[in-house]
Structure 1
Amino acid sequence: MSTPPLDLDVGWGHVEQVLVKLKNIIEGCDDTPMSADDFMMTYASVYNMCTQKPPHDYSQQLYDRYKQEIRKYLLQAVFQTMKFKIRDAIIALINQDRDGNQVDKSLLKNVLDVYVECEIGERQRDFYEKDFEVYLLAETRIYYSRKASSWTGQDYSHVEDICHNYWSKAEECLKKEKEIISQVLLSRSERKLIEIVQHELFTVYSKQLLEMELSYSLALVKDNKMEDLSRMYRNHKMTQFLEPVANMFKEHIIAEGTALVSQGEDAASNKASNEISARQQVLVVQIIELHHKYLAYVTDCFSNHFLFHKALNESFRTFFNWGPSGLSSGEMLAIYCDNILKAGGNGKLTDEAVEKALEKVVQLVAYVGDRDIFAEFYRRKLFRRLLVDRSVDEDHEKWILTKFKQQYGGYFTSKMETMVKDLELTRDIKTEFEQYLSSNKIANPGIDLTVAVLTSGFWPSTKTADLNLPSEMVKSMEVFTDFFQMRRKNQKLTWIYSLGNCTLNGNFEPKPIELIMSTYQAAILLLFNGSDRFGYEDIKAQSNMAENDLMRVLHSLSCAKYKILKKYPSSKTILATDEFEFNAMFTDRMRRIKISLPPAEERRKTIEDVDRDRRCAIDASIVRIMKMRKVLSHQHLVAECIEQLSRLFKPEVRAIKKQIEGLIFREYLERDKDNPTLMRYLA
């Protein structure tokens, strides 16, 4: 006869009776030991419920009920009586670890896990937070408050020692706290705990230390202690007190930069003009090094924080926009670029060195207030490199133009890019012209001719003159003009003699010498093939050269290093009464010499060109704004014009008002009849 299966609730009732008896014995409420019958009945019930065939196998349900009962007892009876001791013990061990004592963190972690193991259902987060975390945060606040108070109360001989000691210890504590969180505590405690540490160590005492820190941080900057400066920043960035330090940083850079510029001004005032140029370049190098130094501070010490980028920007804009001897920063940078690119083109600098130097220049141009001045001087220097000095590395030229374009836009580099492209076009035209001459022997003038074809409007303005050239030169030019018109019928050539160069064979009695000179010089010198002696007025009449150019040319041929012509009377000044004679006895140890023609004064003309371009830019900006707005107040028109043009230069309000009046006169604009402060656009 089979026994019916034991029901779960009936069997669990037997187990529950024994558990109640066991609890009473443990708690001392019942001195009667458990009987053998009770034990056997419980054993049999558990055995039967676990070995019955499905669906009466209750082993899992039995285990779950037993586990729940044990957990309930531990939580309500055992843990409730011990939780305060456990909590205090954990916090005490954490404080010992903070003090640097050896603590078994794995044991600490296991003890803390009791809170997690005893969590029940929805009370999970409340149990950990209310019974442990709240007390830990309170103790942490007290602990670090005492620490900070003791550090600030220590006696040091220097302010720097107080700050260095305080921030070193504070940073070490923060690092230690993060280790405790990762190794012992639950991750959800991290934010709350770190906020308390930061508040007690950094916020509470930052105001007290701020004045000392300003002098401390200044000392760090002066002494190049970048590691200590980085530590100060890491601590300061949490306290919202970075602005005073950034202001100190800016003032220090301004002071150092202004001192450099003042030294350059003093040196320039006591030196000759040729030495001033060298001093200017030294000053540019010093400013580049200064910028490189403090940019490293911003990136490495201050983690590219915007306040320090702003401080660096404002400081360089303050002192960098004026230079020695009245030179602008834009002009000095253009000259420096020219020297670097020439050195690269001549092979004196490696490609890496050239690009590294130019990269720093691109960064400095951002601080130039009048970038159009830099662009114009740079364009004129580029013009000389491409056509006059012939010292150009196209890769370097294209590289820096690409950098300028990325940084300041296509308008900044459009003319210069066309100049470089014209040089490439010139090589193609030269090849085509050589092929043309080889297939047309009759057209060959017998003179080697290379023509640079420049796009008008993109190169710096140069004067053109109706110079009377020797017949040999005229014939060569006519041949090239015929060739060019056959291939580009819609384009017109305008010859610019002032940019040309010639190589002449000088048949001197001691020995023949090749003479490399400008077209102007060659045109004058070739006159002496027809006669050995000319007066000044005769030369002027036959050459049709402007008087100031003629004086420069005759001075270079008769009064400079190479005296190809003899001047009567002998003096360093060219007069209209002078006579000139070919020096047949001229000689030199070299068989090939270059006779330089002193350049005309270009700086004044460059500034004049910039002023003219600015007037045109202001006009274009005003018309562009008014065409879109139709009606606008005079004040808003001026403000928008300044905003539009500020990428290249900051126009003066007076200049804008003058151009507005000019546009009114030319009937582009008119004043409103009822309200004179309103401007109207005339379509």
Structure 2
Amino acid sequence: MASTEEHQNLIKVEEGWPVLQKGVDKLIKIIEGDKNQSFSSEDYMLYYTTVYNMCNPNPSGGICQVLYEKYNNIFEEHITSKVLPSLQGKKDEALLQELVKRWSNHKTMTRWLCRFFHYLDRCFVPMRKVPPLQELGLLSFYNLILGEMNNQIRDAIKCMIDWEREGEDIDQALIKNVTAIYVDVGQGSMKYYEKDFEETMFKDTAAFYSTKASNWLKNESYKDYMLKVECCLKHERDTVSCYLQNRSQKKLLEIVEYELLSVHATELQEKNSLTHLH
């Protein structure tokens, strides 16, 4: 049974939500770059106790469900109204730079909102066996941004990796920060990195070196071809560790070797034999 004092502190959703909405509005201003806004410890306690008083005395009840859904809606509204439009229309490096900035902002937003709504994590989440607040926040970005724009994001990464393979300097840290998003969303799992980035990157790598191999076989001697293979393998070894997950390296090198050597083993043997005949 809840005490009389607890009953007196109860807040209805229509009373408490405007208080929380003010905090959300301030948070969005902060992450959108307003330097005049900040949170005090008193602000934090106000939002936390507002949620607490709305949820008591039934921490797995209907009001908590409403708050849980409203928490998720905060992200959805912000992403669709601010984040998605800031990315649409951009491509290549400009797209990736904006994506990294927006992901950093999103993680800040998730961290603060998890604090405000922490009481839901303590009681409602384990009782109802629903995703924790942090996971819900991170997945909202994944579903609404990567779900909408992952092809463009992967194409931008592919372009930059290919530019580097052709000898141009690129921002390796930028690619590393983008590929880290797939890992961060998984919170320890590599499933998003594998499914939404790595598989396609391997296919793109195979296609890139397949084209190279065909051109070099037509135009290069056996010796020059093998020198190019050596340079490619060295490049992939030296650069892949800069911006891809360690797990990708072995498979990537196997793909390069396969496309440059295994696929054309017979032709290379013939080329080598002709070299010795001359």
TM-score (norm 2): 0.64
Higher helix share: 2
AA aligned to 1:148 is I
Q: Deviations over 1:614-648 (max 9, x none)?
A: xxxxxxxxxxxxxxxxxxxxxxxxxxxxxxxxxxx
Q: Deviations over 1:48-67 (max 9, x none)?
A: xxxxxxxxxxxxxxxxxxxx
The answer as to 2:79 corresponding to 1:148 is: yes
Hey, what does 2:206 align to over in structure 1? 254
| 2:96 and 2:156 in contact (8 A); partners too | yes
Summarize the Cα distance change of 1:129–1:111 in structure 2 as closer, same or farther, 3 Å threshold. Answer: farther
Summarize the Cα distance change of 1:250–1:228 in structure 2 as closer, same or farther, 3 Å threshold. Answer: same
The answer as to 2:135 corresponding to 1:195 is: yes
Summarize the Cα distance change of 1:305–1:149 in structure 2 as closer, same or farther, 3 Å threshold. Answer: farther
> CA–CA distance in 2 between the matches of 1:284 and 1:266?
14
CA RMSD of aligned residues (A): 4.3
> CA–CA distance in 1 between the matches of 2:251 and 2:5?
62
> CA–CA distance in 1 between the matches of 2:174 and 2:69?
31
Hey, what does 1:266 align to over in structure 2? 219
> CA–CA distance in 2 between the matches of 1:131 and 1:226?
48
| 1:265 and 1:324 in contact (8 A); partners too | no
> CA–CA distance in 1 between the matches of 2:11 and 2:53?
14
| 2:52 and 2:119 in contact (8 A); partners too | no
Summarize the Cα distance change of 1:137–1:105 in structure 2 as closer, same or farther, 3 Å threshold. Answer: farther
Higher relative contact order, structure no. (Cα contacts within 8 Å, ≥ 6 residues apart) = 2
The answer as to 2:149 corresponding to 1:209 is: yes
| 2:86 and 2:98 in contact (8 A); partners too | no
Q: 1:90 aligns with which of 3, 14, 20?
A: 20
Q: Deviations over 1:410-445 (max 9, x none)?
A: xxxxxxxxxxxxxxxxxxxxxxxxxxxxxxxxxxxx
The answer as to 2:29 corresponding to 1:99 is: yes
> CA–CA distance in 2 between the matches of 1:181 and 1:203?
19
Summarize the Cα distance change of 1:171–1:114 in structure 2 as closer, same or farther, 3 Å threshold. Answer: closer
The answer as to 2:246 corresponding to 1:304 is: yes
> CA–CA distance in 2 between the matches of 1:132 and 1:234?
36
The answer as to 2:110 corresponding to 1:177 is: yes
AA aligned to 1:215 is D
> CA–CA distance in 1 between the matches of 2:58 and 2:50?
7
Q: Secondary structure at the match of 1:104?
A: coil
| 1:214 and 1:245 in contact (8 A); partners too | yes
Question: Aligned residues: percent identity?
Answer: 5
| 2:87 and 2:99 in contact (8 A); partners too | no
- The answer for unaligned runs of 5 or more in structure 2 is 126-130, 164-169, 187-191
The answer as to 2:235 corresponding to 1:290 is: yes
Summarize the Cα distance change of 1:81–1:290 in structure 2 as closer, same or farther, 3 Å threshold. Answer: closer
Hey, what does 1:326 align to over in structure 2? 268
Alignment of 1:58-137 (within 5 A): 72-77=3-8, 79-80=9-10, 85-100=15-30, 102-112=37-47, 114=49, 127-128=58-59, 130=61, 133-137=64-68
| 2:48 and 2:117 in contact (8 A); partners too | no
> CA–CA distance in 1 between the matches of 2:17 and 2:161?
47
Q: Secondary structure at the match of 2:246?
A: coil
Structure 1 residue 169, shift from structure 2 partner: 1.0
AA aligned to 1:169 is R
Hey, what does 2:258 align to over in structure 1? 317
Summarize the Cα distance change of 1:83–1:179 in structure 2 as closer, same or farther, 3 Å threshold. Answer: closer
> CA–CA distance in 2 between the matches of 1:233 and 1:284?
26
TM-score (norm 1): 0.30
Hey, what does 2:189 align to over in structure 1? none
Summarize the Cα distance change of 1:147–1:250 in structure 2 as closer, same or farther, 3 Å threshold. Answer: same
Q: Secondary structure at the match of 1:320?
A: helix
> CA–CA distance in 1 between the matches of 2:11 and 2:204?
63
Structure 1 residue 89, shift from structure 2 partner: 1.1
> CA–CA distance in 2 between the matches of 1:145 and 1:116?
20
Q: Deviations over 1:510-565 (max 9, x none)?
A: xxxxxxxxxxxxxxxxxxxxxxxxxxxxxxxxxxxxxxxxxxxxxxxxxxxxxxxx
Higher strand share: 1
Alignment of 1:551-570 (within 5 A): none
